[in-house]
Amino acid sequence: MDLQTLLQQMINGITLGSTYALIALGYTMVYGIIKLINFAHGDVYMLGAFVGLAVVLMGANIWLAIFVAMLACLCVAVTIERVAYRPLRSSIRLAPLISSIGVSIFLQTLMTLLKGPQPVGFPQVVTNTIYTVGLVKISTVQIIILVVAAVLMIGLQLVIKRTKMGKAMRATSEDLRTASLMGINVNAVISFTFALGAVMAAAGGVLVGMYFNSVFPLMGVMAGLKAFCAAVVGGIGSVPGAVLGGLFLGVAEVLGVAAGLGSYRDAIAFGLLILVLLFRPSGLLGQPEQRKV
Amino acid sequence: MLELNGVSVNYGAVQALTDVSLTVEQGEIVALIGANGAGKSTTLWTISGLVRPRRGRIIFDGQDIARMSPNRIVALGIGHVPEGRRVFATMSVQENLEMGAYVTKGGRKMREAMRRVFDRFPRLEERKNQLAGTLSGGEQQMLAIGRALMSRPKLLLMDEPSMGLAPMLVREIFAIIRELNAQGTTILLVEQNAHMALSIAQRGYVLETGSITLTGPAVELAGNPEVRRAYLGA
Ligand SMILES: Nc1ncnc2c1ncn2[C@@H]1O[C@H](COP(=O)(O)OP(=O)(O)OP(=O)(O)O)[C@@H](O)[C@H]1O
Ligand SMILES: [Mg+2]
């Protein structure tokens, strides 16, 4: 692979990886707070893509589509938490996990019934100019993905670091019981966390729909699994870890394909997951789990 | 001010508290002593709303708080210094204090509360940008107390504040408790260090495997032969 190809694949990999990162954030934040692997998260991302598509088909631009998809997924995710997870919070840890698998299957089936199983094309919403910067080419769509992902992730970081609710999220994810003893409304924090994760995933769904020109009811399965791998590779519970893991997986996948491993495309993420966990069981940026007494 | 009336608590099949009744009057320091696993922390968690009693009433300032959520109980004026300090290790000292003021509306009130905590614990102000996990044990205990004070509680529940501290620090913490009380905060103090606890409390309760077995003025309890044998090592 010459330098030019390498650089080009890096750009493509970072673009793909930033969409993984957007989804991975929701897994990692929810896990950080209630130790739940939310299997329905990939399907919230799929819903985001469908909502964005519907808005675009009504003639709106991509920005409005992303915004409406974010709002819709926010409502859906908060409702899912309220209906399917919160009533199970004090039961065994496996119960909400199984419930999330149920929600996942429900959403996939619902959308298959409504929209059919076949991929739907995404109309060309932006004139996709290709710019040449030095040795590499980058398209308008790629620029949009990178900019939206960067803005959202920086925004998320500011929310978590600076706002009262963000600080409460960190306190709750460190120690839920003590957070509630301090007067933090833990239920509100959990709803807020689901909302944040859903907003990120919804944007990811619309962006991916636009990038690959395809939206379908099972699109959240593989993307969700890979994003989950990204969250674990980065260190589940760690927000910077999810971003790093997403980018890492995206670049690895694209480079792997460029190196002729195209038929193993989807296996690359899982292979990396195993490799990283062998050497760093808590992930790249994860804290080794502390036993609470 | 606080009255527990026939409170029973279960963890699944395990009965942790059986028919516990106790009162704390305004301005008092009340000590709750007992061996490991007697149910002292459970009592405090139940008052704070973290654990729901199966039976009984908990009256605070005339209201039954037994089924309220923890955040409402904090807002009513009950602060909690948890066992083992439990500061938020990955957050700064200042952020920890802000979390203590979570129910406080308005930045000005919060800043005033923080000013008062910093005046009481100057060491916390010096370290306000440091991560709480990097503080020494004594400093963490001060932070845990300061954090609970941020909501300006009328009643402070303290769960073994002397645990794991060097004797000099234990004396310092007890001096702080006495001072807080002198300035108007009512205190329910859980301790394994029964000697120290009874020396600053007006009244005390002895909890054994989930039931109150003895109660009385602190001096009387400290002189009681059974208490001396079981908890004062005499
Ligand atoms: N979350 C829980 N689930 C099940 N049982 C519990 C739980 N927390 C405490 N217990 C049990 O309830 C009983 C009372 O525990 P508690 O922590 O209230 O005692 P304690 O007096 O505070 O003890 P220590 O002095 O060790 O802090 C113990 O038998 C304990 O094992
Ligand atoms: Mg205890």
Residue A183 and residue B82: Cβ atoms within 8 Å?
no
**Rounded CA separation B36/B210 (Å):** 11
A191 alpha carbon – ligand 2 mean position (Å): 31
Pair of tokens at residue A96? 């909400």
Residue B70 and residue A175: Cβ atoms within 8 Å?
no
Pocket of ligand 1, candidates B8, B11, B20: which has the most ligand atoms within 8 Å of its Cβ, to mutate? B11
Pocket of ligand 1, candidates B17, B18, B40, B191: which has the most ligand atoms within 8 Å of its Cβ, to mutate? B40
Residue A184 and residue B80: Cβ atoms within 8 Å?
no
Which of B47, B68, B78, B102 would you mutate first to test chain A, the one with the most A CBs within 10 A? B102
Amino acid at B153: P
Number of the ligand closest to the Cα of B159:
2
B16 alpha carbon – ligand 1 mean position (Å): 7
Q: Is the CB of B117 under 6 A from ligand 1?
A: no
Whether the predicted pLDDT of B229 surpasses 60? yes
Residue B50 and residue A167: Cβ atoms within 8 Å?
no
Burial class of B115 by CB neighbour count within 10 A (0 to 12, 13 to 18, 19+)? exposed
Which of A172, A182, A192 would you mutate first to test chain B, the one with the most B CBs within 10 A? A182
Q: Please list every residue in chain B whose beta carbon sits closer than 8 Å to the beta carbon of residue A181.
A: 48, 50, 70, 74, 80, 82
Pairing of strands B211-217, B55-60: unpaired
Of B71, B84, B89, Cβ closest to residue A183: B71
Half-sphere exposure of residue B145: CA atoms within 13 angstroms, side-chain side: 28
Q: Is the CB of B37 under 6 A from ligand 1?
A: yes
Q: Is the CB of B42 under 6 A from ligand 1?
A: yes
Whether the CA torsion A120, A121, A126, A129 is positive or negative: it is positive
**Rounded CA separation B120/B132 (Å):** 18
Whether the predicted pLDDT of A293 surpasses 80? no
- Backbone torsion region of residue A128, taken as left when φ is above 0, otherwise alpha when ψ lies between -120 and 50, otherwise beta: beta
Pairing of strands B29-34, B203-208: parallel
**Rounded CA separation B41/B209 (Å):** 12
In this structure, how many other beta carbons lie within 10 angstroms of the beta carbon of residue A37? 16
Average pLDDT over residues A80-106: 95
pLDDT of residue A290: 55
Whether the predicted pLDDT of B112 surpasses 50? yes
CA A2 to chain B, closest CA, distance in angstroms equals 44
**Rounded CA separation B61/B1 (Å):** 5
Average pLDDT over residues B167-176: 93
Residue A181 and residue B48: Cβ atoms within 8 Å?
yes
What confidence tier does B230 reach under pLDDT thresholds 50, 70, 90? confident
User: What does the DSSP assignment read for chain B?
Assistant: -EEEEEEEEEETTEEEEEEEEEEE-TT-EEEEEE-TTSSHHHHHHHHHTSS--SEEEEEETTEE-TTS-HHHHHHHTEEEE-TT----TTSBHHHHHHHHTTT--SHHHHHHHHHHHHHH-HHHHHTTTSBGGGS-HHHHHHHHHHHHHTT--SEEEEE-TTTT--HHHHHHHHHHHHHHHHTT-EEEEEES-HHHHHHH-SEEEEEETTEEEEEEEHHHHHH-HHHHHHHS--
The string of pLDDT tens digits covering residues B127-159 is 999 999 999 999 999 999 999 999 999 999 999
Interface size A-B, in CB pairs within 8 Å, comes to: 66
The string of pLDDT tens digits covering residues A97-146 is 999 999 999 999 999 999 999 999 999 988 889 999 888 999 999 999 99
**Residues forming beta bridges with residue B15, ordered by sequence position:** B10
Residue A179 and residue B99: Cβ atoms within 8 Å?
yes
Average pLDDT over residues A92-96: 93
Number of the ligand closest to the Cα of A90:
1
Whether the predicted pLDDT of B99 surpasses 50? yes
In this structure, how many other beta carbons lie within 10 angstroms of the beta carbon of residue A129? 10
User: Do residues A102 and A38 lie in contact, with contact meaning Cβ atoms separated by under 8 Å?
Assistant: no
Whether the predicted pLDDT of B234 surpasses 60? no
Residue A170 and residue B91: Cβ atoms within 8 Å?
yes
Amino acid at B177: I
pLDDT of residue B46: 97
User: Do residues A250 and A47 lie in contact, with contact meaning Cβ atoms separated by under 8 Å?
Assistant: no
Whether the predicted pLDDT of A173 surpasses 70? yes
Reference A220, options A17, A20, A13; nearest CA is A20
Of all protein residues, the one whose alpha carbon is nearest to atom 29 of ligand 1 is B37
Pair of tokens at residue B64? 């039954």
Average pLDDT over residues B154-181: 94
The string of pLDDT tens digits covering residues A176-205 is 999 999 999 999 999 999 999 999 999 999
SS3 of A25, please? helix
Q: Is the CB of B40 under 6 A from ligand 1?
A: yes
Residue B99 and residue A184: Cβ atoms within 8 Å?
yes
pLDDT of residue A96: 96
User: Do residues B92 and B128 lie in contact, with contact meaning Cβ atoms separated by under 8 Å?
Assistant: yes
Q: Please list every residue in chain A whose beta carbon sits closer than 8 Å to the beta carbon of residue B90.
A: 170, 174
Residue B100 and residue A167: Cβ atoms within 8 Å?
no
**Rounded CA separation A78/A96 (Å):** 15
Q: Please list every residue in chain B whose beta carbon sits closer than 8 Å to the beta carbon of residue A174.
A: 88-91
What is the set of domains in chain B, with CATH numbers? 2-231 (3.40.50.300)
The ranges assigned to domains in chain A are 25-220
**Percent helix, percent strand, percent coil in chain A, to nearest 5:** 75, 5, 20
Q: Is the CB of B38 under 6 A from ligand 1?
A: yes
Q: What is the ipTM of this complex?
A: 0.93
Pairing of strands B14-24, B2-11: antiparallel
Average pLDDT over residues A159-170: 96
Element (H, E) at A6: helix A3-34
Interchain CB contact of B90 with A (< 8 Å) = yes
The pLDDT mean for chain B works out to 94
Which residue's structure tokens are 């050497």? A279
Reference B217, options B226, B205, B228, B207; nearest CA is B205
The pLDDT mean for chain A works out to 94
Reference A139, options A148, A124, A127, A128; nearest CA is A128
If you count DSSP H runs as helices and E runs as strands, how many of each does chain A have, helices first? 11, 2
B219 alpha carbon – ligand 2 mean position (Å): 24
pLDDT of residue A278: 92
